[in-house]
Structure 1
């Protein structure tokens, strides 16, 4: 229990400074309103007790009754006004929190490395963190203030009851403690189930996404996969429904026990109050005050333990948010040395294996490229070409061996400044649901409004005239007036995005994929012409146009460099290269 309390307080210490940043005055106002609304009900009950008792007295004076009545009404009005403005301030703070929590999560994602997106555990953490909205964070804060309010209200009711008897306080408090223990057990049970669901929740979401988006529509229709994915979705959904049923069943059983205990308390305590009143041992005002105090103790002790149980539950979920925000990222970017150009990239005895894997995908890689040079890397699928691109791009820092940029060890270089010098076409390039202009402009945000440069980049990528003349056209099919592009058109847009950046080193991973022979030939011509004075690494397994690229060719197989040289040399000396070249020619 001590650990749970410690965790609750730790989370609260993290939340309050965050709320202060959003509105310190609002937080203080909420605290003040909680204090006021906790004290006034006790004052109001005492005023009512005195007023009604005074009415029963023979020597009563109307003036004193009127004063008590006015004070009672003013307390009620003041309480209502404070509650209204407290709700307003809370709503404003909660709305700001919703935005800020999303920004915090997005900001954390920005710091993640590619490796963080290659493990299911990272996705699970992200999924759990995304489930924590600003409303839930604010509720956590509210539960703490609710505990303080409940304690003050209970103490006020106890103060009133002490003038009658102690035993009702003990009875009501004992019943509430039993209720709290039952709630704690239920909340823990529910939390464990929901936490274990995370991976399957992502699966369920994925199956629903596949069925409701265009990502797989053609294949689903062609192969009749709708029922296949629907059954996968239903299998998980039905499992969740059964778990929810068990939670609801436990909740119902606990509700039965609570109801029995509370009604037993009513019979004993209220019965005693009515008997004492009947026997003339207390005045009507005191009777009403004691009944109200008993009701307040019951409700507020229940509220107190409900708040404790809720904050215990919320603390488990809040821990998931902070677990994600504070988790160590793969991309540490410890390098402090900034660079403004890339004159040379030198790789020495590079080895790399993926996290939790024992086999190396890159083995003893040695290569270099100097300013203005072209380098072509060829190999069959799975030979390690794309992994090498990710290492050179700085996405993986846990490699073995050395990489030097301008003679500086790669680990010492500031990765953000390094990437500003890169123009990369990834094999799995993005198809942004944006305008043509924005799709190109995101390659260099500082120039996103330079229309002439955007058109020039499209021309360099041999994009169709329909795109060049309509750069404000929405592309993709998710949003209004969107136009879907062919695979080749999307590729040209992605290449244009790479060309739009005035980079020092261009890395083009499969720039001729999804293109017909003419389009492929045009892209090769663009690489030679557009990037004539730039350093460029081209990765491909289509080798028929390689002889037109002036530069060294590296042949990879099984994660190793098995040969290197000029095109004519490799045709004579490398069997794999020769085989790939002739097959490409025959396919054309």
Structure 2
């Protein structure tokens, strides 16, 4: 099926190299990388899994040779009791080999099953180490996000599957070596015939895997869209709005659009895969018949004795089975290797996007921030979000950023916090370029109360501390400052109450209460710079008034080390106490000054303030 090239949900980026020869060249590196990951996860289980499977393969040869000895003894002339006694040592050898092989197979399966969850955990842990460390701008890049979803959906799991397939390759190779040695003694001409007999099916399987990967790659954007819609329709948070606005049919229609694209692509894929498998199996059957016909000709010509024919048939079956297992394992490496390659490529790209932030100069004590002619454009956007912005934030000052929606206030706050790097211009932290400083050290000196705060599925205490070890007095003090302490105390388990109704004993908060929790999280950090982005949008007038009193109190709590506060809000009456107000319009700095100065100026700020004031004037 050809996917619609102009569909919003079609991944238009060029497909990576997925030809069989390309993947075969990459097989050793993929297996080596996966085995290194397995060794890191558990050296003992990795060594045991590989070693035991190799021994299992070799024991197959021992059993084969012993079986040949049994046949030779039984088919030799003489009384039956004498022949049976002659075959007894070989029979004991066959029984011993089969018993040992079964025991070692069970042990190998146990160690391999122990290894898989450990590799899965390690691979997934590495993925999340990178996703939480990349620059925030990467998360706004649609291509990077799609790559992340591919790495997350199957790529991380591919590590353990490639390990399993790699072990299968080694085991099959040992079995082939054993069968090849036996056939070389019995009749070496049959070995290349066996190799030819399994290639058609191997080609069909590999071709089928390549087709499947191409479909999944092209559908990566639509699959992500489908997951998002699925989450929306099965999650509690959007449930009230879905019902209130009657969005059920609309969302189902949206879901059907992307789901049908995936359904049609996979139905067509199943047809093409079936044709490939049919062609491979048909060819494979013809070649296998030719192999056994060649064996019959050799027997009729007297080239091999009857006793050796039995061993030859068993060697053919074992060699063919091992070759089939080898092709299957190689295909599994090829199949899962495509997804594991996505995982490795994503990790490499993510490492590149984090490497520039790993090292930096020590962050100086906070005395002020200066933004000098900063411009910024989001990935894929045609219009700059910020253009030539300059401002100053001094120690202990309350600075307000105001403007209409889309004027760039939140983006500017994120640049000040070091979450985004500007395209041009500089951000100076106490005179030192922020780009040269240790980002983690700088962020320890910054607290945020974001507009789009996250209701973490954690306890009330953990929601406030954000994973930092903070004493109870500080947690309670921050909660009191944010006006949420009494609410938390009244919860069933107080500060240890889980704030997520999706779990048993979990509790839900209102929007305003969640905003207070986010504020407490910002206050709890006691950072010298606090960024507040629309911190009262969900609060009632009384709570809003109390909150801004808390903001001023927070800034003046420690006179020896006063906090600087950057306040973003549309409620212009809330910025009257600001030391300086910066007015943004269309990504540019339109005006700046104190409230009286801006009112006297009669510009954008004055018009917005008067417009809001008129709403409260009868």
Q: TM-score, normalised on structure 2?
A: 0.89
**1:265 & 1:560 partners in 2: Cα distance?**
74
Gaps of 5+ in 2: 1-19, 557-561
- Looking at structure 2, the residues matched to 497 and 257 of structure 1 have their Cα atoms a distance apart, in angstroms, of 63
Is the contact made by 2:529 and 2:564 (CA closer than 8 Å) also made in structure 1? yes
Deviations 1:134-155, CA, capped at 9 Å, x for gaps:
6532221232332333333234
Report the CA distance between 1:281 and its aligned residue.
7.5
Match of 2:469 among 433, 440, 446: 446
1:498 lines up with 2:517 in the alignment: no
- Alignment partner of 1:375 is 2:399: yes
**Take 1:304 and 1:84, find their aligned partners in 2: how far apart are those partners?**
20
460, 463, 483: which is aligned to 1:462? 483
- Please give the secondary structure, in 2, of the residue aligned with 1:471: helix
Q: Deviations over 1:518-549 (max 9, x none)?
A: 111111111111222311111111111322x2
Q: How large is the RMSD of aligned CA atoms in angstroms? A: 2.4
Task: Measure, in 1, the Cα distance between the counterparts of 2:402 and 2:190.
Answer: 85
Deviations 1:501-527 (A, max 9, x none): 111111111122122221111111111
Equivalences for residues 13-412 of structure 1 within 5 A: 13-58=32-77, 60=82, 64-132=86-154, 136-163=158-185, 165-265=187-287, 267-270=289-292, 285-327=307-349, 328-329=352-353, 332-333=356-357, 336-339=360-363, 341-412=365-436
SS at match of 2:118: helix
Aligned residues: 584
Counterpart among 508, 533, 546 of residue 575 in structure 2: 546
Alpha-carbon displacement from aligned partner over 1:244-298 (angstroms, at most 9, x marks no partner): 2223223333333344344445544445656877898866643332221121232
Query: Contact 1:459–1:468 (CA<8 Å) still a contact in 2?
Result: no
The structural deviation recorded for 1:320 is: 0.2
Alpha-carbon distance change, 348 to 258 in structure 1, aligned in 2, over 3 angstroms: closer
Contact 1:51/1:285 (8 A) holds in 2 = no
Pairing 1:524–2:533 present = no
- Is 1:568 the counterpart of 2:587 in the alignment? no
Q: Deviations over 1:551-572 (max 9, x none)?
A: 1112221222222221122112
- 1:513 maps onto 2:537 in alignment: yes
Q: CA deviation at 1:160?
A: 3.2
Task: Report the Cα offset of residue 464 of structure 1.
Answer: 6.3
**After the TM superposition, which of the residue ranges 146-155 and 122-131 deviates more from structure 2?**
146-155
In 1, the alpha carbon distance for the partners of 2:177 and 2:364 equals 67
The one of 494, 497, 510 equivalent to 1:473 is: 497
Aligned partners of 2:380 and 2:279: how far apart in 1?
49
C-alpha displacement at 1:428, in angstroms?
0.7
- Alpha-carbon distance in structure 1 between the residues aligned to 2:563 and 2:512: 25
Preserved contact between residue 378 and residue 553 of structure 1 (Cα < 8 Å): yes
Gaps of 5+ in 1: none
**48-57 or 89-98, larger mean C-alpha shift:** 48-57
- Give the aligned partner of residue 25 of structure 2: 6
**Aligned partners of 2:200 and 2:281 also within 8 Å:** no
Is 1:436 matched with 2:457?
A: no
* Paired residue secondary structure (1:74): helix
From 422, 437, 441, the equivalent of 2:446 is 422
Is the CA contact 1:334–1:411 (under 8 Å) kept in the aligned structure 2?
A: no
1:77-105 CA-partner distances (Å, limit 9, x unpaired) = 11111111111111111111111111111
Alignment pair present for 1:580 and 2:599: no
